[in-house]
Amino acid sequence: MKKSLLIVPVIAVFAGVVAVQSDYVPAFATVINSGSLAMPGSSEPEADTGIDDQYDVAQSGRAPKTRTTTPASPAPDAAVAPKVDETALRYFARQGDKRRLEAEIARLRALYPGWTPPADPSAVAPETDTALDAMWKLYAAGKLPELRKAIQLRLTSEPQWKPPADLMDRVELAESREQLINASDLKQYETVIRIGSSHSSLLTCSDVDLLWRVAEAFARTNRTSRAKDAYGYILDNCPKPEERLATVQKALPLLTRPDLEALLAKEKTTQDGAREFDTIRNDLARKAVADAGTDPKLIVPPTDLERVEKLANDIVEPSDPLILGWYYLRHDDHANAEKWFKLSHERENAPSSSQGMALAMIAQSRPAEAEQTIYEWRDSSDGAKAVYMAAVANLLAQDPPVDIAPAVLQRMVPEVVEAKDANAAQQFGWYAFLLNQFETAAGWFSTALQWKPDDEPSSYGLVLAREQLGDMAGVAEIQRLWSGKSERIGRLGELRQARERGLVPSPERFGTRDPDALLPATQPTDGPAAAATPPQTDPAVAANSLADRVAATIARTSVTRPEELQSQTAPLQTAPAPSRVRPSRQMKASGQRLPAGCTTTLDPQTISPESALNRGWCLMDINRPLEAAAAFERGLLSRSDAARSDAAYGQSLAYLRVGLADKAAVAASKARQQQSRQIELDIALLSSRATDAFTAGRYNEALLALDQRARIAPERNDLMVLRGYAYMNLNRLADAQRVFEAVAATGSKDGLRGMATVRAIRNKEY
């Protein structure tokens, strides 16, 4: 349960004025005026008088005395009665304000022990000085500037008039009170102490707020013992329960635990037998456990730990179990930490409890549960994001690799890319490496190095992946970059030869073993299975193996980047590779001479249709599709059905190569095609039409072409990306998200970029 400090309002008789209670308690005079509260640099010694003097004043009921170093004056004649200014008394009596009247009587009794108040103050004859009455009214309303102005105007108009001393004393005291409060609010603590020491009559139980402010000023200026004395004075002299409780609560953040225990010893027992400061003891125990939850070096008393555990079980709130969870986590008791985090999480599903529970699960080698627990809150804070990335990295780092559900992989990939977490990217690389997905592994290692160029383990993983792919130039480049900085990267060839001879085990997946341990001179040690050697599995169950299932999820594909879809369409317009058509049987049978080459320019109309057909394929080989189209046009005049079919097929491919889909469609219809070729042409034509429509901004037409194509052939990743952006441009964000997620599941960065774009659009909408 969250605890809040009990703030007791300042009890004052009127705004800006300090009144005295009827059960008058002396001011904090001896402490303020004694050396115990002396200002720094004061000539008065600190031990000049003790705090015990205040209790003598309290017992005698006399007003506090001001110490002086001058010789004592002769005692006044006791028979001479002091002159008591009863102006305020008569004013409050005329106003009928009984509370203020009683406070004034108490004040005058404290100042003049021999004074006796009128038997019926309300019957006091009213004064005839209306101007003075108006001044008292301004004072009662707390309008001190107006009061000062009224006094000055009367002194100017009536030089012989003197304002009552009691009124002037009260004005000065009220102004000093305002100055003390203002200095406290501005954190000018030395000024607070100076004003308090100069006006000790302000510091009474009738205005406990001022006592709190002076006590805080002592604590903030490293005079803790004096702060403890001030708080102790309140507990010794002020009876109101709410003020006493608030006093200890205010001392909590300012005093040490031993000093607080000294204050708690002053507690009283309530009428129902409960201890006055039990709630404070609860707060102290919570604070001790919470502090130890951030600093594992701190030791919590067993009584405090037991108290907080009892509170966590008895009070149905999430805060106390959360405090215990962090305490046990910092002290490496992960099972207990998870227990308390789980209880807090059950009471309130919040980021902090989810984050702590995930950390406890990771520490207990259960990263899959941790990833599921923290995923919901991964974006709630930087700390939560870091915990999620740790869960992802630990899930991927399990050895041997575990079977991760495709849905989990699909949601982890974009998060790693968005967070640019090099460690998680590196673990994706090792995960793919152990599944013999070397191209995918190289991609992830390269990505990790983009985010953290000096990451040696990622560089080591990349050099191993390139070695498996046979990219020896890439291997040499990495070795050059890390020359003198990584021995194991530099000696990769030597290690490979040693492994081939069976002298050392294959490299470990994390690249954390000391390089010397892999040298031929050492004895092989047990470790993970060789990353380059696929595990031997029963062919009957190979289709259900981890590699088979995950390969479809994280396999690397080469697709057009999303940003290229708007400015560059050539990769999508490229037609499928043509089936090379050799000269027809008729040409071979007739013994007609075939052209030796097609590098020279030649009008196809000057040669036979069969020669033109052959020339067309030659021109396609050297990427001169427009000339090839003209040659195939001549080939369409052949008498052979097969040759005409070849010519129509070739001309269609030529037009597709240069992006002329309409002409390609016309060319395909010029002769009958075999079913396989017709399907191939239809796929290429629909692909081209989808691309052209998308480029022209006709997104519905693009989707229609893609739908037609999908009926006859699986959709390539680049066309799926195009489909996703078409949906996005039509504001079909849910469909776009679904498509991009499918692409991202293959490990494609284009799908991840598409997902990020959809997310950005949705964030702007909300």
Is the domain spanning 277-396 CATH 3.20.20.60? The answer is no
Short-list 649, 606, 651, CA closest to 628 = 651
Residue appearing with tokens 């027992």: 269
Calculate the alpha carbon distances from 482 to 433, 438, 457, 488 in Å: 21, 21, 11, 10
d(CA 489, CA 483) in angstroms, rounded, equals: 8
Identical topology for domains 277-396 and 564-586+601-765: yes
User: Tell me, what's the pLDDT at 764?
Assistant: 75
CB-count exposure of residue 733 (10 Å: 0-12, 13-18, 19+): middle
- Name residue 275's beta-bridge partners: 269
Q: Within 452-581, where are the H helices?
A: 456-468, 472-481, 487-490, 492-500, 546-554, 564-567, 570-573
257 within 8 A of 284, measured Cβ to Cβ: yes
What would the two tokens of residue 200 be?
A: 């000790």
- Residue 77 above 70 pLDDT? no
CA-to-CA distance for 203 and 212, rounded, in angstroms?
A: 9
Burial classification of residue 580, based on how many CB atoms lie within 10 Å of its CB (0-12 exposed, 13-18 middle, 19 or more buried): exposed
Sign (positive/negative) of CA torsion 494, 499, 502, 503?
positive
Q: How far apart are CA 303 and CA 23, in angstroms?
A: 40
In Å, how far are 87, 388, 447, 658, 741 from 763, measured between CA atoms? 71, 21, 26, 40, 18
Per-residue pLDDT band for 348 (boundaries 50, 70, 90) equals very high
Peptide bond before 159: cis, by omega within 30 degrees of 0?
Answer: no
* In the predicted structure, residue 442 carries a pLDDT above the cut 80: yes
What would the pLDDT profile of 141-164 be if each residue is shown by its tens digit?
777 788 888 888 878 888 888 887
Q: What does each C-alpha distance from 132 to 155, 172, 536, 723 come to in angstroms?
A: 12, 17, 108, 90
Q: Cα(706)–Cα(700) distance, rounded to whole angstroms?
A: 10
The pLDDT tens digits for 661-706 are: 778 888 878 888 777 777 888 888 888 888 888 888 888 888 988 9
- 14 φ, ψ to 5°? -155, 165
- Give the pLDDT confidence score for residue 166 in this predicted structure: 72
Cβ atoms of 412 and 394 within 8 Å: the answer is no
**Confidence at 366, pLDDT banded by 50, 70, 90:** very high
pTM passes above 0.75: no
Whole-number pLDDT of residue 666: 85
What integer best gives the mean pLDDT of the chain? 74
Task: Tell which CATH architecture fits domain 564-586+601-765.
Answer: Alpha Horseshoe (1.25)
With a pLDDT cut of 90, the percent of the chain lying above it is 26
Say what the pLDDT of residue 151 is: 82
Q: What residues does each domain of the chain span?
A: 277-396, 425-521+547-556, 564-586+601-765
CA dist list (Å): 581 to 236, 379, 569, 577 = 109, 58, 28, 12
**Tokens at 317, concatenated:** 């709130």
The least confident of 292-296, 328-332, 526-530 is: 526-530
| Better-scored residue on pLDDT, 666 or 35 | 666
pLDDT digits (tens, 9 = 90+) for 455-482: 999 999 999 999 888 888 989 999 999 9
The mean pLDDT of 339-366, rounded to a whole number, is 94
Query: Is pLDDT of 557 > 80?
Result: no
Q: Which segment of 310-319, 516-525, 729-738 scores lowest on mean pLDDT? A: 516-525
| pLDDT bucket at 82, cuts 50 / 70 / 90 | low
Burial (CB count within 10 angstroms: exposed 0-12, middle 13-18, buried 19+), residue 694: buried
Neighbours of 314 (CB within 10 A): 10
Q: Compute CA distances 606 → 245, 609, 622, 639, whole Å.
A: 112, 9, 21, 17
User: 396-400, long-range: CB within 8 Å, 24+ apart, which pairs?
Assistant: 396/424, 396/427, 396/428, 396/430, 396/431, 397/367, 397/427, 397/430, 397/431, 397/509, 397/510, 398/367, 399/434, 399/509, 399/528, 400/434, 400/528, 400/529, 400/535
Q: Which residue has the higher pLDDT, 63 or 157?
A: 157
Q: For 85-104, what is the mean pLDDT?
A: 77
Q: What is the pLDDT of residue 344?
A: 94
Residue 125 — pLDDT band, cuts 50, 70, 90? low
Radius of gyration of the chain (CA): 46
For residue 457, count other CB atoms closer than 10 A to its CB. Answer: 21
Q: Which residues is 14 bridged to in the sheet?
A: 17
Higher pLDDT, 237 or 504: 237
The answer to whether 532 and 468 have CB atoms below 8 angstroms apart is yes
Q: Is 544's pLDDT higher than 50?
A: no
Q: Is 617 helix (H, G, I), strand (E, B) or coil?
A: helix
Higher per-residue confidence, 690 vs 76? 690
pLDDT at residue 257 is higher than 90: no
The residue with tokens 């004003």 is 195
pLDDT tens across 646-659, in order?
888 888 888 888 77
Q: Amino acid identity, residue 516?
A: D
CA distance 408 to 427: 15
pLDDT on residue 179? 87
Residue 532 has pLDDT above 50, yes or no: no
Question: Has residue 497 got a pLDDT over 70?
Answer: no
CB atoms within 10 A of CB 602: 16
Q: What is the pLDDT of residue 581?
A: 38
Q: What is residue 500's predicted lDDT score, i.e. its pLDDT?
A: 54
Per the DSSP assignment, residues forming a β-bridge with 269 are: 275
Q: If DSSP states are collapsed to H, E and C, what string results for 546-615?
A: HHHHHHHHHCCCCCCCCCHHHHCCHHHHCCCCCCCCCCCHHHHHHCCCCCCCCCCCCCHHHCCHHHHHHH
Q: Report the pLDDT value the prediction gives residue 494, as an integer from 0 to 100.
A: 66
Q: What is the pLDDT of residue 414?
A: 92
Q: Which two tokens stand for residue 468?
A: 């498996």
Q: How far apart are CA 27 and CA 19, in angstroms?
A: 12
How far is CA 756 from each of CA 365, 730, 753, rounded to the nearest angstrom?
31, 17, 5
748 contact partners, CB below 8 Å, separation of at least 6: 556, 557, 559, 717, 721
Q: Which of 498-502, 650-654, 744-748 shows the lowest per-residue confidence on average (mean pLDDT)? A: 498-502
- Whether the CB-CB separation of 604 and 632 falls below 8 Å is answered with no
Residue 72 has a pLDDT of 38
Asked if pLDDT for residue 424 goes beyond 90, the answer is yes
Torsion (CA) 418, 420, 422, 425 in degrees, nearest 10: 30
> Could you give the angle at which helices 87-95 and 130-140 cross, rounded to 10 degrees?
80
675: left (phi over 0), alpha (psi -120 to 50) or beta: alpha
**Neighbouring residues of 687: CB distance < 8 A, sequence distance ≥ 6:** 572, 573, 705, 709, 719
pLDDT per position as a tens digit, 189-237: 999 999 988 887 788 888 889 999 999 999 999 999 999 999 999 999 8
